[in-house]
Amino acid sequence: MSTYTQIIYHIVFSTKNREKTLSFCHHESLFRYIWGILNKKQCTLYQINGTEDHLHILTHLHPNERLADLIKDIKLATNHWNKTENVFPNFRGWQNGYGAFTCSENQKEKLVQYIKRQKEHHKHVDFKEELISLLNEHGVTYDEKYMG
C-alpha cells in the first residue's frame, strides 16, 4: 500500500526583531525561491505572501518531511540566497521560531485568500496582533515575553 496524506500547514515567521527589511519590490523573487525549496521537497505550495517583516506560507507537507526541518531549511536557504544575491541588503535573518497551524481541505481556499490580502490586512493590524490572533484561534498557549 502507498502512503496517503492530507497535511496542510499555514506557516508564519518573521524577520529578526521584526525589522521591515523585505522590500515589496523583491517579494516575487523570494517567493519563487521558497517555492523551489518546497517543490524539491515534494511539498505543494498553495499560497505565499507577506509584508516587509514576515511571511505566510500555505503548503501541503510531504509525509517524508518534518515541519521543523522544512522551516529550518527554508530559513537557512533563504539566508544564504540573500547573502549571495544581496536582494534585501538590510535583512539580518529570520526570527527564532515560527507559527504553524494545520488546516483542513475545506479551509484551504479561505486561507489562500487571506494570505493573498496580506498587504491590505496589515494596513490595519500589525504582525504581533495577527500572530496573537492566530495563536488564540488555534488554542495555542504562548508566553507573552516572546510576543515583543
26-76, pLDDT tens digit by residue?
A: 999 999 999 999 999 999 999 999 999 999 999 999 999 999 999 999 999
89-147, pLDDT tens digit by residue?
A: 999 999 999 999 999 999 999 999 999 999 999 889 999 899 999 999 999 999 888 77
Domain ranges of the chain: 8-146
8-146 CATH, one of 3.40.50.300, 3.40.50.12280, 3.30.70.1290, 2.60.40.420: 3.30.70.1290
**Count of alpha carbons within 13 Å of 125, Cβ hemisphere only?**
15
The angle formed by the CA atoms of residues 51, 52 and 55, to the nearest 5 degrees, is: 50
In this prediction the pTM is 0.94
Q: Which helix (H) or strand (E) holds 12?
A: strand 8-14
